[in-house]
Structures are given as structure tokens and as C-alpha cells.
Structure 1
Amino acid sequence: MSVTSKASPERAEQRPDRGRLRTGTLGTADITFFVVSAAAPLTVMAGVAPIAIVLGGIGAPAGYLIAGITLAVFAVGFTTMSRHVRSGGAFYAYITQGLGKPVGIGAALLAVVGYNGMEIGVYGLLGTATADTAHALWGLDIPWLPVSLAGLVLIWYGGYRSIDFGAKVLGVLLVAETGILVLLAGGVLLKGGAGGLSLASLAPGNVLVPGTAAVLAFAFLAFTGFESTVIYRREARDPGRTIPRATYIAVCFLGLFYAFIVWTVIQAFGDERVVKAASDDAGGLFFSAIATYVGGWAADLMHILIVTSILASLLAFHNAINRYSLALAEEGILPKALARIHPRHGSPYLAGAAQAVLGLAVVLAFALAGADPYTQLLLWVNTPGGIGLMALQLLAALAIPVYFRRVSHNEGVVRTVVAPVTAAVLLTAAIGLVVAKIDLFTGASTTVNTVLVALVPGVFVLGVLLALRLRRSRPEVYARFAEEPTESQP
């Protein structure tokens, strides 16, 4: 599968020799690589799915299907609006067009904080996962901080290079991490599982249990980043088609793949024994399964691929953050310097450098405070980031029907009203589940959890106040915010 295309004479003028993004570079597969890599399928499965099995029992696969269906419904209205709003700002541009500038600027600040939270916290996971891998494979004990700092440099460099370079890297890493999971599934299916294959995971009696609510909370966060397809609009080939296709492929793939892999792991241990196996050794469940059904070498390879899965997720989020920062710098909200684009690579390189410096500051602050890289740096930083992105999805879903009621269009009522309203209801329930089960994600005290949850509305309100200040002090910036990049569907 090719991730780049040869430059044609017609496209030569679009090359970034004058500091422009590489327009017309990314195809459907490329964008899909970015958004699926951000979700880190192998890390989510090996690191989180066993906990979902402990909480939800053998009905856990259904939770991923339900989350996937909900987000597919959201994608209907989301991709429809992508044909009408051309901004690289995605969420904030859509929300502004539907709900107004104060809400849109509040959403913009929440997006910057949310995406940074989802990325920076993962540097803690990179450090611990690499240390675990080194110990498991070679008996080495290495500190987490140097690994995290080395990861910061690697990710900065990946973002500094051209977008097609990033697409190639993510394509290779994504194929590798999904491939090892497919290998596990194939081994289980070929050997018939622990006692024959069973579809009991889909039986209503196993799905409709109290623990399913907790599974759903984990499942929704497992899709984080899928909506970033729209951020790459300016670099996409035929964005009117490429963006919707990539969004639907990402959501459908993740939903079906997650459910299938969790189901196969349940078959690996058997319906009667898998919950106990996951309870006894959640972190080792997938490694034990692949060692049994494929071989010890595959378990060793999975250890290594978890590290590369984390790196792929970091690079995908880093690129998304850079383009959000670029869009906001062009709007006049962030410093203009962040809008500079590398004359050769066509990348928002100063936005990438600023993001790397921010990541460095946060990682070092946690390290100097003696914080645990997993339970504190990862979980405390990631959790509000994930909730923030879900809140943005909800705001976007609410904005879509309002927008289409105001403009002339030929879109159907299902796409412009029914789907987004349904998605808004489902996303409200999903956010409620995540907040209610927040202790499962953080393992922190009630006070810490309250602060982490409160950060999301707090950042949004701060953004609204910034908007009101802009309206008074910089009316020209306020007036043009998210206004120009719009178009009407004929």
C-alpha cells in the first residue's frame, strides 16, 4: 500500500518551497494510519482490555462494539459538516460555526489542552513500558526518565519532517502492532481455544451486567483521536472524499478489531476461566495467551511492539497538536510564530518545537516531584485529556444541527439532525460513565479525581473568558475567528 504519490507537474506549484503545508499529499490510507495509530491498538488491548474483562466478564467485547457504533453515528454528522467547513481547526471551527465564537474559542483552548494531555502523559507510559520490556527480555533495569526524554527527541524529529515521512513511519508501525494481534487471534482460532469456540460473549445475559458500564467507559477512551482526520484536511488529496472515508474506516476498524481481539483472548482461556486469569495477572494476560498459542518468541516480539505502538501514538498525537496550533496561530489566538512552516519539509516546525518543549517541561516537573510515571504522569495527565476530547465531540454534535439549520444545503435530515442529536445523547451518557468510573482510570483519591474532572470545564470556561476579552481588546481577531474557511454545499 503506497502512502505517497509522485509529484505531477500540476502539483509542483504546491510544493512547500515557500513554507506551505504539503497539500494533496495524504490519501485515505495515510490519514487512517495517523488516527488509528493515535489510538494505539496493541497498547489498549494488552494494557487495558484485561481490566475490562475483569470488570465486565465475558461480555466485555460488546462494550467495544457499542462504543464503536456510538462514534460511527457521531461520524455521520461530523463528516457531513467536513464538506462545508474547510478549517484545519476541526472541532473548534465546527463548534464556532454552530454555537458561536465564545463557545468556539472555549473549545479551541480545550482542544489544545486535551490533545496535549493525551500525548504528554504517554511519555510516562513509554518510559515504564520500555523498562518493563528491557527487564522481561534481557533482565535489565533501566530508569524511565532517560527513555521518556529520548522519546521526546524522536517524536519532535518525526513531527519536524514532512507529513508523508510521518505517514510512512506510522504505516509500518501500525501494520506491525495490529499484525501481532492478528497472529494471536489466528493461533487461538486454529487451535479452537481452551475448550472450543463460544459466542457466549454476545449473549444478552453476559452483556447486560453491572460491569458493562465500566467496560463502556474504558471502550470510549480507546477510540481517542479518531476525529483528528479533519485536522489533515489541508494536506489531504480530495478532502471531500478522503476525510469521511478515513473517519469511517478508523471507527469501524477499531470497533470491530477491538471486539474481535478481546473475544479471541476470552476463547484462549475459556469462558469459565478468563476472568480469574485476568484478575490474577492482568498485565500478563495477552503475553500468556500468545506464548501458549503461538510461541514464546511471539510474546517477546509483543513486548517490543508495545513500545513501538506507544511511539506511534505519540507521533500521531504530536502531528495533530501541531496542526491545531498552526490553525490557532493563523487565527491570531496563539503567537504568530507558531504558524511558520518549514520551507523544505512543509511541516509546522515551530509549533512542533513548542509542543516538545511543553512536553519536556511537564515530564521533568513530574520527575522532579518524584511522581510515578504510570500512575501519576500517565493517568493524571491523560484522564482529563480524554474527557476533554469527549466533551469536544459532544459540543461538535450539538453544533451540527444548529449550523445546518442556518445555512442553505442539500444534506438529508438524517445526516444533519437525527445522527448528531442521537450522538449527542449517547456521548452525554458516555461522558457520565467515564466521570462516574473515574477512580478506575486514575486509582487516585477523591480530591485528585475531583480536580482532574474539574479541569475540563475549567479550561473551557477560561477559553470563553478569553473570547470575551478578545472581543473587547482585539475585535479584528475575534471577528475573523473561524469565519473564512467555510463553504456551502451546492
Structure 2
Amino acid sequence: MESTRLDRRRLSTASLVFIIIAASAPLTVLAGGIPTNYAVAGLLGVPQTYIVLGLILVLFAVGYTDMSREIQNAGAFYAYVTEGLGNRQGIAAAILALVSYNMMQIGLYGLFGFAASNLIANFTGLALPWWLTALAAWLIVALLGVRSIDLSAKVLGVVVMLEFVVVVIVDIMAISIAPEGVSAAAFAADEFFVPGIGVLLAFGVAAFMGFESGAIYSEEVVDPRRTVARATYIALIVIALFYAFSAWAVGVGVGPSSVVEESQAFGPDLIFNWLGQHSPMLANFANLLFVTSLLAVLLAFHNAVARYFFALGRSTVLPKALGTTAPNGAPRNGSMMQSGLAFVVVAGFAIAGIGHELGDLFPVITLFTWLTNAAAFGLVFLLAVTSVAIIAWFRTNQLQRGIWTRVIAPSVATIGLTAVFIMILVNFDLMIDAEAGSALIYIMPGLIILSGVLGLIWGEIIQRRRPQDYEEMRDQDMISDDEEIAIAQGSLDDNERSTN
């Protein structure tokens, strides 16, 4: 029997932390993000990037998580912007978020297909097309997506723990080898506060994408007033410090004088080549785990998109059929919709890549690079807009919060996020490796902005044609008195469950 409720009170803080971190993919950042940042920026200050971005996002989280205590909705950005800025703006944010999350998830199939095909070829000699391995991943994600969130949380938890173990081992190896000695050169001011800072921040922010997804699961956590906030802060702090340390370790392990040049020469293969020289067995295991980490990211973003479809269907922004759940509490129709979109887009790129001059790199340079960078552009823009919505919401909802929570933290976060957004836009040609004047520099960000504009138009249409639905959109977000009592009465059971 279908319902309009997600599976309530299932996720503990630890489970939600794993889901959030899985979206940022520690091993993917180590192997792909960090070398790319060194290569494109040409600076040693990559570790500082993660610290600065972490601070900006922690400031954003101050108001964001406080607002999550009062508003539980699977369409987090949609709900918060609606409550702060109005229904029409909320619908625009929802459509923009839906497009961005879908682009992020679908684009990752390009990298997964390439990496998985290479892995199989290296171990077996069997040459499989990228789209075939991507299809296998699609099937796994589609099947897990319609199951209870508990299963996804367990799968993601195992993969994330293995990723952390491997990255820690790599970091320790790098520091112990240190061909030029253990150096703090990466933390020098002139390696960060220079003209290249824009490139550093634009590329570095991708490592944090997905941290905001904690609020998406606010209807499914053990304690909606505490779990989301705790999990978001824990995940942010872990991501920022862990990636900063790992970026520094990579620089030390390769050598400060050569890490930029080596990154430019080998790109994402730098870590695996370096590992192969010192521990071929670990290199092979890391390669395998790199592929499974990409699968975890695909699943994490799939779950986020499915819940956005659910939230928008339940509020009648999209067809009502999307706003129902299966007997196991999963947003089945939303999950199937996301899987369908992914299949169509990946199939389109598979056909376009037949006989293409880029060869095996086609899915990486096109499907992965184009879509994920456009998605990062959209999500950073949404974070900035949400910060403004948080300030506006606290202005009209005096909840005995201090000026730090209501004004200062979200205001500084808005300035920081807007600066990063502009940096991404200015450096978008570098991010997608396009030639100056290429149409793609305008098309990909343009698709994101267009989705927001269409959302505004759709909001106007709903207001005119279905005024009652339009007015009722805010009513479903605030936690009710009955739910508050139920949470208080069930807190002991929830605490017990969270420790299991």
C-alpha cells in the first residue's frame, strides 16, 4: 500500500554521516580532486582550500541546521527557500536543485564506466565498453534505490569505512616516504592568497558537494531536531580536515617541488602510479575501491534525487504520483524516475560516443566533466540563495536564537558562497577543459540558470491555476505538535536504536 510518508525515524547520526560523506567520496577526492587541483591551479596551497571552504560551509550550517530543527522536508532547499523567500522562489530553487542533483548523479556514470572498464581490463584483459559497466552500476543503484534506506546506509557505511582506511594508509605512506622531507610549504600564505585562489576554490568546492544532503533525510532520521545538525557538523569537519591533511600528505609524498608538475603530467593517475611504485598490491586494491567509491557516490546522489522528486510530488509541484512511497517507506516512484532519466542520458552519450575521436576518454571528458561541473555551479548557487532565505526566515520567526545564528553566520556564509559561485563561473572554461569562446562555457551554466527561471514561471502558473495548492505548500514543512510529542515520548527507544 502506497503512502505519502517516508520511512520515519530509521537513520541514526552515524548512518547519516556515512551517507553524507559517501557523496563526497574520500578516495575519489584523493585520486581525482586533489591532483586536479594541484595541476590546474599550479599552487601548493591545495590543503588550505579545504580548510577555507570548510569554514565557509560550517558558517552556512549554523543557520541551515538550526532551521532543520523546525522544518523537516525531503526537498531541503525547496522547503527552506519557500519558507524564507516565498513559494515561487522555493519552486525555482526546487527545480534548480532537481536539475543539479540529477546532473551530478548522471554525470558520474561517465567516470564510473571508464574506471570500471579499465579495472576489468587490467585484471582480466577483457575490454568492455564504458557504457556496459555503467549499465551494471545503473542496475545496482536502481535496485537499491527502491529498497529501504537502511540497506543503502549499510552499503555506504562499509564502502566509506574502507575508503577511509585506504586513504589513511596512503597518507601515512606519503609522509613516511617524503622524498624532500616533511614540509609545511603548502601552508604558506603566498601559495594560497594569490591570483590563482579562484581556481583553487572553484575546484575544491566539489569535494564538499553532498554535505547539505543531511537535511534531505530529515523525515527519516531518529531525532529530526538533533540528528541532522549533528551529522552535518560531523561530516563537514571530517571532510574539511581529512581532505586538507590528505592534500598535504600527497604534496609531501610526491615532493613539494614536483607535485604540481607530476599532477599536470599524470592527472588522476598520479596517486595510482605513485602507489604502484611503492606498493603494487595496495595500488590494485585502491583501484578496486576507487570504482566502488564511485558506486557509493552514485547511490548517495540517487537517493537524494529520489527524495526531491518525492517532496515535489507530495506538494503537487510535480505529478502527485511521485509523492508516494512504497510499503518499505522508500520513495519508489521518485527513485524509478531518476533511474529512467539516467538511463536515457547515458544511452544518449553512449550513442554519441560511437567512433568519437576522444576514444575511451569520451565519457570522462564529456558526460562526467560537463554535467558534474555544471551541477557544482548550480549547487553552490543554491547554497548562497538558501543562506539568504535563512536570514529572511529568522527575521520573521523569532525563536530565541542569538544574532550569531540569525544574522552573522548566514551573512558571512552568503558572501563566501557568492564569491565561490563567481569564481566557478569565471573559471568554468578551465573546469570543463574548454577552449576560450567555446559554446559549452555558456551552455552548461545556462542550463542551470534556465532551470531556475522555468521554476519561477512554473510557480506563477501554479499560483494562477491552483491557488489552494500554492497556498498550502508551506503547511507541510513545519514539525507539528503531535510529532513533537511523539519524538519526546520515543526518545528512549530512538537512543537505543541508534546504538545498534
TM-score grouping bracket, smaller chain normalisation: over 0.9
The AA in structure 2 aligned to 1:477 is D
Cα deviation 1:95-139 (Å, max 9, x = unaligned): 111111111110011111111011011111110011222233443
Cα shift at 1:18? 6.5
Q: Tell me how far apart the structure 1 counterparts of residues 24 and 72 of structure 2 sit (CA, whole Å).
A: 25
Unaligned runs of 5+ in 2: 357-361, 485-500
Q: 1:151-170 alignment to 2 at 5 Å?
A: 151-170=137-156
Hey, what does 1:401 align to over in structure 2?
A: 391
Hey, what does 1:13 align to over in structure 2?
A: none
Rate the CA distance shift 1:66–1:488 in 2: closer, same or farther, 3 A. farther
Is 1:38 the equivalent of 2:23?
Answer: yes
Q: 1:285-364 alignment to 2 at 5 Å?
A: 285-293=270-278, 295-343=279-327, 345-364=328-347
Provide TM-score, normalisation by structure 2: 0.91
Hey, what does 1:237 align to over in structure 2?
A: 222
Assess if the C-alpha contact under 8 Å between 1:73 and 1:422 holds in 2. Answer: yes
Q: Tell me how far apart the structure 2 counterparts of residues 463 and 207 of structure 1 sit (CA, whole Å).
A: 38
Unaligned runs of 5+ in 1: 1-15
Hey, what does 2:269 align to over in structure 1?
A: 284
Cα shift at 1:192? 4.7
Q: Tell me how far apart the structure 2 counterparts of residues 130 and 292 of structure 1 sit (CA, whole Å).
A: 22
The AA in structure 2 aligned to 1:354 is M
Cα deviation 1:262-310 (Å, max 9, x = unaligned): 11011112111222222221232111333344x1100001111110010
Q: Tell me how far apart the structure 1 counterparts of residues 6 and 395 of structure 2 sit (CA, whole Å).
A: 33
Cα shift at 1:326? 0.8
Assess if the C-alpha contact under 8 Å between 1:56 and 1:215 holds in 2. Answer: no
Is 1:250 the equivalent of 2:235?
Answer: yes
Assess if the C-alpha contact under 8 Å between 2:314 and 2:324 holds in 1. Answer: no
Assess if the C-alpha contact under 8 Å between 1:124 and 1:373 holds in 2. Answer: yes
Hey, what does 1:6 align to over in structure 2?
A: none
Kindly report the root-mean-square deviation, in angstroms, between the aligned alpha carbons of the 2 structures. Answer: 1.8
Rate the CA distance shift 1:482–1:290 in 2: closer, same or farther, 3 A. farther
The AA in structure 2 aligned to 1:411 is R
Rate the CA distance shift 1:418–1:19 in 2: closer, same or farther, 3 A. closer
**Which stretch shifts more, 48-57 or 401-410?**
48-57
Which of 252, 263, 266 is 2:248 aligned to?
A: 263
Is 1:467 the equivalent of 2:459?
Answer: yes
Aligned length: 472
Hey, what does 2:407 align to over in structure 1?
A: 417
Percent identity among equivalent residues? Answer: 38
The AA in structure 2 aligned to 1:342 is A
Hey, what does 1:143 align to over in structure 2?
A: 129
Is 1:434 the equivalent of 2:424?
Answer: yes
Which of 93, 99, 102 is 1:116 aligned to?
A: 102
Hey, what does 2:478 align to over in structure 1?
A: 486
The AA in structure 2 aligned to 1:276 is E
Rate the CA distance shift 1:414–1:93 in 2: closer, same or farther, 3 A. same
Q: Tell me how far apart the structure 1 counterparts of residues 339 and 269 of structure 2 sit (CA, whole Å).
A: 32
Rate the CA distance shift 1:347–1:248 in 2: closer, same or farther, 3 A. same
**Which stretch shifts more, 53-62 or 300-309?**
53-62
Q: Tell me how far apart the structure 1 counterparts of residues 367 and 259 of structure 2 sit (CA, whole Å).
A: 30
Cα deviation 1:306-354 (Å, max 9, x = unaligned): 10010000000111111111111110111111122111x2211111111
Which of 119, 126, 139 is 1:133 aligned to?
A: 119
Assess if the C-alpha contact under 8 Å between 1:131 and 1:142 holds in 2. Answer: yes
Assess if the C-alpha contact under 8 Å between 1:24 and 1:234 holds in 2. Answer: yes
